[in-house]
Structure 1
Amino acid sequence: MKGKITAQSISLFEKKGFTETSIQDIVDSLGVTKGTFYYYFSSKEELLMDIHLGYIDGLLYTQNHILNDTSKSFKEKLSANVYMLITNITTQGAAAKIFFREMNNLSPEHLKIIEQKRDQFRLNIEGLIRAGMENGELRADLNAPIITMGILGITNWSYQWFNPDGNCTDEEVAEIFVEMILKGIQDN
C-alpha cells in the first residue's frame, strides 16, 4: 500500500502541485482512509521527502555503477550518465518534476539532506570531467564546475520537454547531447 500511496501522490503532485494536493485528495483517489495514509507516513511532507529520496538515491546508485565500471572510457561514462538522466524521464518523469519543482516544500532539515545528495551527484559528474581532463580525453583548460553545470542544465531541463513517444528516442537525445558536449556545434 505504501507504494500505491507514493505512486498516486506523485501523479497528484504532478497535476495539482504539492501544496494544492491534500491528504484527503490522496486517500480519496485510492479509496482508503486517512488512517491508512498515517500508517505509512506521519505527514504529507514526510511523503514528499520519501519521493525525493527515492528519486535522488536511485540516480546516485546508478551513477555509482557507471563511474565504478573500469571497462568504460571517460566518453562512455559521460554518455552513460547523460543517457541515464534522459532515460530516467521515461521511467521517473513525474518524480523528476516533483523533485525539481517541489523541493522548496521540504523542511530545512530534509532539504539539507536532499541538497547534499544532489551536490554529490553533481560532484561525481565534475570528478568525471576532471578525470577526462587529466587523462587527456578533454582539454586541460576547461572549467570543470561550469561544464558540469551545463551538462546538468541540459539534461535536467529535458524532463520539461522530452517526450519518450516523440520523434527521438531517449538514446538518440542522449547521443545528440553527448556529441554537442564533446564536439560543440561549431562547423570545423
Structure 2
Amino acid sequence: MKDKLTEHSIRLFEKKGFKETSIQDIVDSIGVTKGTFYYYFSSKEELLMDINLGYINYLLEKQIEILADNRSCKEKLFEIVYLLIGNIKTQGYAAKIFFREMKNLNEERLALIVPKRDEFRLNVEKILIDGMEKGEFRGNLNAHIVTFGILGASNWSYQWFNPNGDSTDREVAEIFVEMILEGIQAN
C-alpha cells in the first residue's frame, strides 16, 4: 500500500504540483482513507522526502556501480549520462518531483537530500578531473563548470525526452556525450 500511495502521489505531484495536491486527493485517487495515509507517512512532506530519497539513492547506487567498473573516463561519463536519460522511462515523474518540488522540504530534510545530490555531482566532476589527468580530456577544462553543464543538459531532458519517441534513450545519450566530448576531448 505504501508503494501505491507513493506511485499515485508522484503522478499527482507531477500533474498538480506538491502544494496543490492534498492528502485527500492522494487517498481519493486509490480509494483509501486518510488513516491509511497516516499509517505510512506522518505528513505530505515526509512523503515528498521519501520520493526524493528514493530517487537520489537509486541514482547514487547505479553511479557507484559505474565508477567501480574498470572503464575509461569517457565510457564512465557516457554510462552516467545514459543512466540519467534512460531513467526517464521508469522514473521520469520522480525526476520532475525531485528537481521541481525539493523547495518544499524543510531545512532538516534538505540536509539529507542535498549532500547526496552533491555527491552525485562531485563524482561526475571527479571523472572529468581523472580524464584530464589521463589525457582523455583537455587539461585546461574547468571541471566544476563542465560538470554543471553535463548534469544540466542530462537532468533537464526529463522535461522534453519521450522514451517512446523517435530516438531511444541510448541514442540521446550518445548524442549528448558526442556533443560534450567534441568540446572536451584531447587531440
Using the size of structure 1 for normalisation, the TM-score is 0.96
- Amino acid corresponding to residue 128 of structure 2 in structure 1: I
Tell me which residue corresponds to 2:6. 6
Pair 1:129 & 2:133 matched: no
Within-5 A mapping of 1:25-64: 25-64=25-64
Cα distance, 1:165 vs. partner? 1.1
Separation (CA, whole Å) in 2 of partners of 1:40 and 1:155: 33
Separation (CA, whole Å) in 2 of partners of 1:153 and 1:33: 40
Tell me which residue corresponds to 1:101. 100
Separation (CA, whole Å) in 2 of partners of 1:184 and 1:129: 13
Tell me which residue corresponds to 1:16. 16
Residues 67-114 of structure 1: CA deviation (Å, up to 9, x unaligned): 0112x1111100000000000111100000000000110011111211
Aligned residue pair count: 184
Residues 1-49 of structure 1: CA deviation (Å, up to 9, x unaligned): 0000000000100100000000011011111111110010000000000
SS at 1:97's partner residue? helix
Tell me which residue corresponds to 2:77. 78
Q: Aligned pair in 2 of structure 1 residues 184, 140: CA closer, same or farther (>3 Å)?
A: closer
Tell me which residue corresponds to 1:111. 110
- Amino acid corresponding to residue 106 of structure 1 in structure 2: L
Separation (CA, whole Å) in 2 of partners of 1:133 and 1:75: 11
* Runs of 4+ with >6 A deviation: none
Cα distance, 1:184 vs. partner? 3.4
SS at 1:139's partner residue? coil
Within-5 A mapping of 1:141-152: 141-152=140-151
Identity across the alignment (%)? 71
Cα distance, 1:139 vs. partner? 1.1
Structure 1 residues without counterparts, runs of 5 or longer: none
Separation (CA, whole Å) in 1 of partners of 2:26 and 2:137: 49
Tell me which residue corresponds to 1:91. 90
Separation (CA, whole Å) in 1 of partners of 2:13 and 2:57: 20
Separation (CA, whole Å) in 2 of partners of 1:77 and 1:32: 44
Pair 1:181 & 2:158 matched: no
Separation (CA, whole Å) in 1 of partners of 2:4 and 2:144: 39
Separation (CA, whole Å) in 2 of partners of 1:37 and 1:79: 40
Separation (CA, whole Å) in 2 of partners of 1:25 and 1:90: 25
Structure 2 residues without counterparts, runs of 5 or longer: none
Separation (CA, whole Å) in 2 of partners of 1:28 and 1:161: 30
Using the size of structure 2 for normalisation, the TM-score is 0.97
Separation (CA, whole Å) in 2 of partners of 1:11 and 1:94: 7
